[in-house]
Structure formats: C-alpha cells, structure tokens
Structure 1
Amino acid sequence: MAKTAFLLALIFPLAALAETPLSSSHEERLTHLVVQDCGSCHGLKMTGGLGSPITPEALEGRTVDGLQTIILDGIPGTAMPPWRALLTEAEAAWIAAYLLEARE
C-alpha cells in the first residue's frame, strides 16, 4: 500500500484541485489506475480475483454515489481498502461512472 500511495502522490500532485472537471490526461491516469491497481485484485479484465467482479454486468443496479462511497471508504471486513486518502471525491465519482459504463 505504501508503494501505491507513493506512486499516486507522483501521479496526482494536484488531486486537491480536482473539483474542476477532469482533464483528458487526468482521466487517462485514472483509467490506468483502474486497470493496474483495481485490476490487481479484481482481475485485469475486472472479472474477479481476490476482489469480486466489477464488470458493468456485475455492477447492475449500482449507482455512481454508491460505488464512490465504496471506493472512498472501502468495505470493512473484506480486502477492499479505502482510497479516500489517495483519491478526491471527484476522482472516485469518475472511476465509479467509468466502471458503470460498458468498456471494450
């Protein structure tokens, strides 16, 4: 986790300013984060692993707000850690929306 925190500090030096719309390069960095960091537990195709699947089908019925809360606060008693110290609310909302969209 310390390595991830260090890398995110390098990737998102202006994360506190993310209340404005995210730039396309910021979105690209978040996409990379989802694939690499989320994918390390949820599988590189998000079909499950240590963590449960996070495919659009598996997330059917979920909301951006609900997923944002899970991303930021984790799920106690599971391997899902809180990311609040590393991501802003805007970044977590973007990731949640990204996960709910059908991806190729």
Structure 2
Amino acid sequence: MPFPTRLVLLVICWLPIAALADGSLSAEREQELETLLYQDCGSCHGMTLRGGLGPALPKSRMNAYSREGLAALILNGVAGTAMPGWAGLLSQQEARWLADHLQNDNPLDE
C-alpha cells in the first residue's frame, strides 16, 4: 500500500479515538443530557428551570460557580438538601457538559 494511502487510513482510524480523548460527546448524548436536565432536574428545579422544590437555575446563579465547581455539585449533590448526587449516573465529562450548558446555553437569565 502506498504511503499516502496508509496515512489516510491511519488518520481515518484515529479520528474516533481523538474525539473520545478530547472529551467530545456525541450529538445524541448531548441531546440525552439536555432532556435529562429539563425532565429529571426539572422535576425539582422546574421544567423551565425557574424553580420549584429546588431553586431556580438562571445563568447569573450558575456563573457564580466555576464550571468544575458546578460539575462537582452535580455529581456530589448538596448535603442536607433534596439535591442528590448524580455520580452514579453521569460521568465527569457529562457533568461538565451540563455545567457548561447551564452557564452558557441556559435560556433562563434573571
């Protein structure tokens, strides 16, 4: 096999691995996480994140945390409150995606 062909094949095989290594989530998983946010988290924080049993989650409040701090809160929950930890269901990468979504793509801004 000529060198350029081998190089192209190597790059094609390497791309999916690189996507996983850089922390990318599939579009399908991102959609699942967004649904989780508005359905499961929304059961306490309100379906539009305007509050309910749990507090409202506007951008201004979410940006009071670092992305890593907010991801840790998602994974570990808040002791003494109804906020559970999601570490058993979400990876660190997924929690960071949710934190980023809440801080940047959140439609609620007070």
Give the TM-score category using the shorter length: 0.7 to 0.9
TM-score (norm 1): 0.77
1:101 aligns with 2:99: no
Instruction: Among all aligned residue pairs of Structure 1 and Structure 2, give the percentage whose two residues are the same amino acid.
Output: 42
1:35 aligns with 2:35: no
TM-score (norm 2): 0.73
Report 1:18-33 matches (<5 A): 20-33=23-36
Q: Which is higher, the Rg of structure 1 or of structure 2?
A: 2
Q: Distance in 1 between matches of 2:43 and 2:22?
A: 27
RMSD: 1.8
Q: Which amino acid aligns with 1:74?
A: G
Post-superposition offset of 1:55: 1.4
Q: Which runs of 5+ in 2 are unaligned?
A: 1-19
2:80 aligned partner:
77
More helix by share: 2
1:58 aligned partner:
61
Post-superposition offset of 1:30: 0.4
State the aligned residue count: 88
1:87 aligns with 2:90: yes
